[in-house]
């Protein structure tokens, strides 16, 4: 189980500041989580003011796939 960012993200980067493993990648309009780096600590979920981050079991599968694909393409935050 990993964290997953959805389209409610406004790219405030509060998640980036608390992530202990640097799992976030930055796109033009939002952040995503690299599922290969995320350790499922949940710190980003608690920190997100938009409620844009869920664990992969609660997230819509399209966002799970989106995060995995875009994390491979976008630069680390």
What length does the chain have? 77
DSSP 52: -
Which two tokens mark 8?
Answer: 């409610």
| CA-based nearest residue to 76, from 2, 24, 6, 13 | 24
- Give the domain ranges of the chain: 3-73
Would you say the pTM of this structure is higher than 0.85? Answer: yes
Please compute the mean of the pLDDT values over residues 54-71 and round it to a whole number.
97
CA angle, 44 then 50 then 56, to 5°: 50
55: β partners: 3
**Cα R_g (the chain), whole angstroms:** 10
pLDDT at 1: 85
Assess whether pLDDT exceeds 90 at residue 18: yes
Q: Which fold has domain 3-73?
A: Alpha-Beta Plaits (3.30.70)
């Amino acid at each position: 189980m990993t964290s997953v960012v959805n389209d409610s993200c406004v790219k405030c980067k509060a998640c980036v500041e608390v992530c202990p493993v640097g799992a976030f990648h930055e796109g033009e309009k939002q952040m995503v989580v690299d599922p290969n780096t995320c350790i499922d600590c949940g710190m980003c979920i608690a920190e997100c003011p938009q409620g844009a981050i869920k664990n992969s079991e609660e997230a819509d599968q399209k966002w799970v796939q989106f995060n995995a694909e875009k994390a491979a393409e976008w630069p680390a935050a």
